[in-house]
Amino acid sequence: MFCFGMGSLYSEQRFAVYWGCDTTYIRLKQRQQILWIMNGPLTQSRQQEFNDNGYLIERSLASEETVAAMNAIIEDTVRPALAPVEYEADVHYPGSPVSKSAPGGQTPRRLLNAYARDVVFRDWARSPAVVGRLQQMLNCQRVMVSQNHHNCIMTKHPGFSSVTSWHQDMRYWSFDQPELVSVWLALGNETPDNGGLMLIPGSHKLDLPRGRLDAALFLRTDIADNEALINNAIPAELNAGDTLFFHCRTFHAASQNDSQALKKSLVYTYHCENNRAIPETRSANHADIVVSS
């Protein structure tokens, strides 16, 4: 059911506005052309891009002030790292320090529980710019943020970072449905040189046989078909404030930070309210939070 309204945009042009619960059409009558079809902040073509590729980069989504406030908090709490923390030595990935007592062993990989760390992180997590996009990508009104695992500030330090091999984030999650979206906010420049993410477009649609993955659910590197798949990867080149949305089935990877500067990114993962964490799994450790109004 549509409501109807009319008004003047310019003296010589009239426009009509139709709106329903979710959809607004703005039509310039003079051209009889729909200029703008909106179901939320993403145009249909941007939403289609996300559906096709399994990821979408939205440039400058966070303001300079927000990025500066977040960076200041992180700089204050990363050396030494304020608990709870995951250390590079915890993950045992290629390049990780072998233990917490080895050289570089105290290098933090993630400052965990970002949502609880400061209101600036909470405000971002529940901001209309983020949540509106997620409602479209996840196709639901009621969106929740997880307080488990990807609720963190990723810190990639020069000198002691590790390689994250090709994986889908579903390896971390236990949910009714593999329908989650992570939101990765760059707090500085990210390129392959400083360990920025690489993604394989369209890989969220693949249903690979178990044999294509190793014991830890990374893509096996000894299989020619995987090599062909990995050759399609593209880097997510980000500037501070740019935001990468990616589906939990999109294969991605990252190398070590070969620059001289700490790389910082804020990451949250979201799902629809009717997609529940499986009880007694790590995904259900802490209650999820509704972020849509």
Ligand X SMILES: O=C(O)CCC(=O)C(=O)O
Contacts with ligand X by CB under 6 A lie at: 154, 156, 164, 169, 195, 252, 254
Residue 138 parent element (H or E): helix 128-138
DSSP 222-233: T-HHHHHHHTT-
**Toward ligand X, which CB reaches closer, 27 or 117?**
117
From the CB of 27, what's the least distance to ligand X, in Å? Answer: 43
From the CB of 234, what's the least distance to ligand X, in Å? Answer: 15
From the CB of 164, what's the least distance to ligand X, in Å? Answer: 3
From the CB of 39, what's the least distance to ligand X, in Å? Answer: 29
Per the structure block, which two tokens stand in for 113?
């529980």
From the CB of 40, what's the least distance to ligand X, in Å? Answer: 26
Instruction: Say how many CA atoms lie within 13 Å of 188 toward its Cβ.
Output: 19
**Toward ligand X, which CB reaches closer, 42 or 199?**
199
Q: Residue 135's closest CA among 123, 148, 146, 145?
A: 145
- CA separation for the pair 277, 275 (Å, rounded): 7
CA separation, residue 146 to residues 182, 247, 283 (Å)? 10, 14, 8
**Toward ligand X, which CB reaches closer, 40 or 192?**
192
Strand partners, 238: 190
From the CB of 267, what's the least distance to ligand X, in Å? Answer: 8
From the CB of 140, what's the least distance to ligand X, in Å? Answer: 23
DSSP 151-167: EEEEEE-SSS---EEEE
**Toward ligand X, which CB reaches closer, 43 or 71?**
71
Helices (runs of H) and strands (runs of E) counted in the chain = 7, 17
**Toward ligand X, which CB reaches closer, 243 or 292?**
243
DSSP state of 251: -
**Toward ligand X, which CB reaches closer, 133 or 252?**
252
**Toward ligand X, which CB reaches closer, 133 or 157?**
157
Contacts with 21 (C-beta within 8 Å, 6 or more apart), sequence order: none
78 with 252: CB under 8 angstroms?
A: no
From the CB of 197, what's the least distance to ligand X, in Å? Answer: 6
- CA separation for the pair 38, 44 (Å, rounded): 8
Residue 186 parent element (H or E): strand 181-186
**Toward ligand X, which CB reaches closer, 187 or 254?**
254
